[in-house]
Each structure stands twice: as structure tokens, then as C-alpha cells.
Amino acid sequence: MRGNTPCPCGSGVKFKKCHGANN
């Protein structure tokens, strides 16, 4: 998944700032 897409967790935050941050 790309970092600029909305996080699938439903927070509305971009993936790279949310669940993608620790990858």
C-alpha cells in the first residue's frame, strides 16, 4: 500500500503517518 493513501484502519490519517509509520 502506498504511503499517501488513507490508512485502512479508518482513522482518516495517511497510511505513512499511521499504521505505515513503523515499517
What's the confidence (pLDDT) of residue 2?
Answer: 85
The total of other beta-carbon atoms located within 10 Å of residue 3's CB is 13
Q: What is the pLDDT of residues 1-23, one digit of tens each?
A: 788 999 999 999 999 999 998 76
Q: Name the 3-class secondary structure at 17.
A: helix
pLDDT reported for residue 13: 96
**Per-residue pLDDT at 4:** 93
pLDDT value of position 23: 63
